[in-house]
Structure formats: structure tokens, C-alpha cells
Structure 1
Amino acid sequence: MGQIVGSAIVSHHPGLMQCEEFRRLQGAGEDSDLIAGYARLRERIAAAKPDVVMIFDSHWFTTGYHLVDGGARYSGTYISDEMPWYLHGVPFTYRGHPRLARALETASRARQGYVRVIDHPDLGRHYATVNLVKHLRLELDDTPVVTVSSCQNCRWEQFLQSGEDIGEGIRASGLRVVLLASGALSHKFNGIDWKPNHPRIFHESNVSSPENIESDKGAIALMAEGRHDLILERWDAEYRRKPWEAFGAHYLQMLGAMGGADCRAKGESLSAYENARGTGNIHIWFSA
């Protein structure tokens, strides 16, 4: 039987793809701790020995279906249409895992779900996937990667349901899988003319509002206790209103695969909580 052997919320923000010299300029002489956090996360992934890494991509917006990339291999040169002045010319080449992708669709169809496979050579990449492939060195390790979309016409419960379908597909596949929820927590950008509150741009006081900082830290504390049920209880009243990146699709799908409200996996912070253009970012690992 297949199993989930680890999972994580992982920041992918594009500033992390800039050179270290520039990151240190923004960090008042210090690098972002999210960079060191990638090294810590690489250690956890290596110890878990996955056959496949699955990325819930909070930038791949789809309509009508939760799509799963079913290609055998991806290669090209990435340029961001959001920030092409510095996130460009990124070469990538990594393996997919068509058998796992098909297993997810089969499980979802059996449950009357909406997870479907897409395999098209011209389908574009998104930096929520590419940045993790690069920073976690998945292409160097030749680790297969399967990406899952964020379907934008869904209620939050339906993200949980798609995650449940995905969990069933993983169990049917016979594979060891690590899940990565690629995205931020609160996701309100600072204005274009914003002035930093702290000279270290990454510093948490530069997140968009004190209320978002308080809410993010509250969620992080609940994750540390494994109380995902309490996060779900507060979703409509709090986390949906902030809101989280992709309205939390990346976290909710990951959590659905892990058992939803019954999941008690405790989160270990692998980085500091940091700002990125006003959004709240952190790496959090959940052991199987």
C-alpha cells in the first residue's frame, strides 16, 4: 500500500530566486532564513525516501477540475510573467510520474470527485513548482515531481475533498509520497509605494498588517500542536478572510490527503516566519 511519508508547507516567493548578494542587501546584511530552511527541508525529504514529491501549486489556477500534471518529463527555460525583470532564464528539467497521476484520477472518479490528469507538452510551468524543484534540488536527485492545481471555483471544503481523493490514490499506488503545499499563509501585498517598517525587508514586521501577523502566528502555533481541526473550525471566520494564498488551496488539499480534521500531524518550523511583499511565509514540516 502506498503512503504519505512526510509533508510540508513551503514558501516559494520569487525573491528567493535572486542572487545571494541581492538578498543580503534586502536583508540588511543577512540572507533570508527561508534559504537555510530549504536545506533543512532537503534533509527531511531525503530521510523520508520518497518515490515521488507532490507539489500543490498555489499559482496553477484551473477552473472546473483539480488538475494533476501527468507528463513523463518536463524541461525548458522558465520566465515569470509576473516578475520577468529578475525571474527569467531559469533552466529546468525533471521527471514526472504518469502512473501516480493516473492513480489519483482513478481514485477520484470512483468517489465522484473532480481530480483529472492533464498531459500536454505545451502546458506551462509556474514558479510555485519551478522554484521548489530548484531550491530542493529535485532535478539533481532525479526525484519525480507531480504537480496539482488550485481549482478556483471551489469552496474550501472541496479542496479538502480533492485532497481526500488524492490520499486514496496515493494509497492505491503503492508509492511513497512527500506532499509539499507550495505557498504563503496570509497573502495581502503591500502597496507599490509602501515604505518598510524594518530595514531588514524579510523581517516579519513588514508583513502587511499586525492582524495578519497575529493570525498567521496563531495558525503556526495550532499546527505545532497538530490541531488542524481548530484551523478548519476558524476557516470561514478568519483564514478565508485574510485570505491565505490561493484561499488556502495548497494547505487544504495537503491536509485532506493527510486525514482532514482528524489529522494530528505536528508541524515543525524549519525557518523563521518572514515577509515577502507583505505576505506571510514559512516552511513547516509534518512528519508522517
Structure 2
Amino acid sequence: MFPHICGVSSQETLLGPACADGDPVKIVSYNLRFASEADPQPWSRRRPASVELLSGLAPDILGTEEGVDHQLADLMDGLGDHYRLVAEHRHDGGIEENSAIIYNSRAVELIKIEHQWLSTTPDVPGSISWGATLPRMYSLASFRRVADDAEFFVITTHFDHESIEVQVNSAHQVIDRIAGLDPDVPLIVMGDFNCGEDSEPYAIMTAGQLRDAYLTAAERGPRLGTFNNYAAPDPDGVRIDWILVSDRVTVSSARMVDEAPGGQYPSDHLPVEAVIDF
């Protein structure tokens, strides 16, 4: 298991100063599809394309879903020594997928990290509620931008894939946690939400201070469904992977990354990217 870099209680309010102008920050959210040699698209086949794609994107902060330990280690080897990883197993009793954040230490510095489970007992690792069949979680990190010491929050999460009730309760839980954060500090929320723009969880997540980075970006790439199942994405498909930002954040560009290095899509999801500033 990858260790916490540092921890805070679920009841502790993470605080920081309002941000000043500085270098743009590139955010990427990516469901990696867990590594399995039994999969029709095994990790051994996808690994080179995954490393090439992410190295080319060169994110400052990368939130990942489903990555297992050796999969994340492969990405870290490919990204370079200036990248750092903080991750936590979701304690699913199986292959132990991680909720992970990889960050460029030349651009940002990690201050604190918190891992919580999407359940009525969020401090209990592996806990499930509302009829969910698998544990789900979110990670909340506080970062400082190296260029100007501006602080900001990042949440990465992976919602349930079967139950709208679980998704709705998960959305409320994340929003309730956000209510405990300093509203003057910029916030980015990203992940695989397993539901689209017309869903109740999306409405809950965007009812307050959060905005969809793709819809509010100054420049946008083509609209694409983000679950592409290792094939060319469908323009009419559902965007189930999102990056959301608070009103303290400006978005210069956003896109779904439709790239298949060497003809190989690295995952059954597309990465989503946003270039932001505060």
C-alpha cells in the first residue's frame, strides 16, 4: 500500500490563503482501468501507451481511478523523478484499486491529504452504505503552487457504477465536505462519476460553487463521451468523467483527450484535461 504523505481528520477544516496570480496548472483526471492480464486489453499491452500519453500531457496534477500498485509504479517510472504519488487502497478485498493523486513537484507542493470512504462511516476504510456493492472513496488534498505560494484544494473521486441512490448520496457527502473548506481557496473536483450532465448527481455537484470546467473553458476540444471502451470515442456519448472548479478558478482550456499512441487506447476511458489559473 502506498502510505499517506500526511493525514487530517475528516472533521478538520483545511485552510489556506486566497491565491494570487501565477503559472497555469494543468489538471488531468483519468480512469486507468485496473491492470489485469485476464482482461482482453491487458496492462502489459496498454502500459507503453499509457506512459507515452501521460508523459506527453505532462500534468501538474493527475487524479486517477482504478490504478493498482504496480500500475501506478509503472506510471511513476515513466513520468520522471520530479513526480510524486499519494494514494490509498479503497480496501475492496480484491485487487485493491487506489484513489491516487500524482503531482509535479516542480509546480506544486502537497500540504495535506485526506482519504474518506463514500459511506455513512467515512473514516472506516472499505466501508459501504446505501446498498453499494463495492467501497468507493474520495481523496482531498491541499496544495501550494511553487511559483507564488498560492494554495488550492483538489478532490478526486470515483462514484458507484450501478446505483443512482449511491451516486446521489455520494454527491451529497462530497458537497457536505466541501462546505467545511475555506471558500476563498480555489477548489478543483475531478473523477469518474459514472453519470452524465443530465443526472441528479451532476445537478447536486454543480448547484453551488462548482462549475463544469469543460463548459466554462475559454477554449474547448470536441465534445466526446469519455467511456470509449478502447475504441474511437462517440461524440454523442456520455461525459461521465468531469473536472469541476470553484468560482475562484479560471479555465483557459479543457478537452477530452482522444489519443491512442501506437494505435492503442491506454484505457477504456478518455483522460479529461483542464488548464486552470487562480
Report TM bin, short chain: 0.3 to 0.5
More helix, by proportion: 1
Q: Which has the higher contact order (CA 8 A, sep 6+)?
A: 1
The structure with the largest strand share of the pair is 2
Give the TM-score normalised by the residue count of structure 2: 0.34
TM-score by length of 1: 0.33
